[in-house]
Chains A and B, each alone.
Chain A
Amino acid sequence: MNLMSDAAVGDAFTTQESVAIRGDFAILSRTVRGGKPLVYLDSGATSQKPQQMLDAERAFYEQHNAAVHRGAHQLAEEATDAYEGARETVARFIGAQSREVVFTKNATEALNLVAYSFSNAAAAGAMDGVDPALAARFALGVGDEIVITEMEHHSNLIPWQELARRTGATLRWIGVTDDGRLDLGDLDTVITDRTKVVAFTHVSNVLGTINPVAAIVDRARAVGALTVLDACQSVPHLAVDVVDLGVDFVAFSGHKMFGPLGIGVLWGRYDLLDTMPPFLTGGSMIKEVRMEGSTFADPPQRFEAGVPMAAQAVGLAAACDYLSALGMARVGAHEHALTEALLAGLAQRPWVRVIGPADNKDRSSVVAFVVDGIHPHDVGQILDDAGVAVRVGHHCAWPLHRRMNVTATTRASFAAYNTVAEVDALLTALDRVPVVFGTVV
């Protein structure tokens, strides 16, 4: 990748730039289903990987591989430096301090980590020595409430359902409007003095809606509730500064942002992380261990039990560097233009209905839709036959699909490497769908 320098910060990538970017992703030049060029429109599920990220991971294994935070030999030092250096890069990418960045297996684990902190805090002795005012923030029981939204991915829904079940707290949620926005009309009656935690998604993985974080955070703060933001669909596509957002915790995954599989991130305000009991326990996360009992390391190590995924951390840092070099403003502008083109194309097809905001305002680059009378699995199959990879199903957001009165949807999602030509390829393939199934004559 070697981007032209005369483009403005808010411009989509030029054709030349797109060619350069695509050149970094070897998989994009392969063919599928009998020689058809791959049109990969499923980055919302997982993104493809640039050479730079793969090289970084490979270099770690070839030159520095050792168990991080263990051993006194040179490789152990280098591996530890690489791992901790990766933490700094990731922290910088989201505007955070590195000691506030916890590496997890994935975003799901990051969200579970927070959810389990609440119930683990209830155990005898778990909060010994913690400032009672801070400890009280994690105390959850009958009469307390957990608030989520109806548009959550299962990974930011089930951990809270289960937390409610374990603690006796009540789960409540903010509804979704017919056009796929959060219904904030009754925000003050859903988030109340009983609310201890509000967990919500920054960007819907189905609707593409960018949620009004500030409005929800303001209300949560007013009642003293903690906030947890699922940023899986925002960090890879928009410039995200966790401090500006004002939330208490942020979770996202590496593999959706050009990074490797097997790594996710939990960011948390340090005073809160410092208060929280561990989730997973074992090696690495301890201060002192005796047969009678143990004490735990400071964050972030307290939450990183076991030999960490150093190579993946290095890969994720390389992915952050890659995105930074592209410029997140330009990534966002580019994907916005692709979304615009797709929404316009779908609007010309009266037999297609977009599930989510029909306009391109406060909207990210995932577009879910249904085709009249044809099941999304069948739509996806016809698209796949043309080499167009999309996702079909409920996208791990089953309650949201019920709310939108659909069983399932077809979802196209973009990343920086996609092009308007690929939008056209999708639309052309889509036109075959009603022909194959005989719904238009």
Chain B
Amino acid sequence: MDLYQEIILEHSKRPLHAGLREPFNVQVHHVNPTCGDEVTLRVQLSGEGRSAVVADVSYDATGCSISTAATSVLADEVIGHSVKDALTSFAAMRKMLTSKGADPGDEEEIGDGVAFAGVSKYPARVKCALLGWMAFTDALTQAGVDISATSTSSSAPSASSTTITTDTATSSIMEDS
């Protein structure tokens, strides 16, 4: 089983940048309706638009190892980087996760995120890995960043059973009965 890479287990046990901090521009709350996992996530930007810098991402999450570790990696990847770079990472992460095992991921673009390549073989878990990212991109939208370019330029290379759009995060994710 190549799902639980050591790096994922490490991030899930000791998530980086965890906890809710001040100051922040926007706070969002996202829920995975299948399992009830939740994340409250805050974003602090400095500057305007896509050239703004992500000054901080702080969060309080309840979730499985995959979603906890993914949010940890997300925070570590985007803090201190421009919104533009963060969105590039998101696009690359989503492309890999929805590739059904075809895309191993680019460490240049997503850093520790490549450890999640195995998740793409388990369609039911893709939404776990994307929960934090959905919250993050929603927070950017609410902070006034136009992320539409990212949504359209990074569709999955092959048809995926999990359709993810950035503006309907929880409702577009596979629902439980």
Q: What residues of chain A have their CB less than 8 Å away from a CB belonging to chain B? A: 108, 154-155, 374-378, 381-382, 385, 392-394, 396, 398, 401, 407-408, 436-438
Contacts and interface: CB of A to CB of B under 8 A. Distances in A.
A394 B176 contact: yes
B52 interface: no
Contact of A393 (B1, B36, B38, B122): B36
A378 B177 contact: no
A375 B64 contact: yes
Given A407-B36, A436-B4, A375 B176 contact: no
A396 B177 contact: yes
Given A401-B36, A407-B35, A407-B36, A378 B64 contact: yes
Chain A interface, DSSP helix/strand/loop, else mixed: helix
A194 to B, nearest CB: 31
Q: Which of A155, A375, A437 counts the most B-chain CB atoms under 10 A from its CB?
A: A375
B62 interface: yes
Contacts of B64: 375-378
Interface string B1-29: 10110000100010000000000000000
* Interface bin, chain B: 20 to 34
A378 B36 contact: no
B50 interface: no
Interface of B: 1, 3-4, 9, 13, 34-38, 62-66, 122, 125, 128, 176-177
29 contacts: A108-B177, A154-B177, A374-B65, A375-B63, A376-B35, A377-B37, A377-B64, A377-B66, A377-B125, A377-B128, A378-B66, A381-B1, A381-B125, A393-B34, A393-B36, A393-B176, A394-B35, A394-B36, A394-B176, A396-B177, A401-B36, A407-B37, A408-B35, A408-B37, A436-B9, A437-B4, A437-B65, A438-B9, A438-B13
Contacts of A396: 176-177
Nearest to B63: A375
Contacts of A392: 35
Contacts of B63: 375
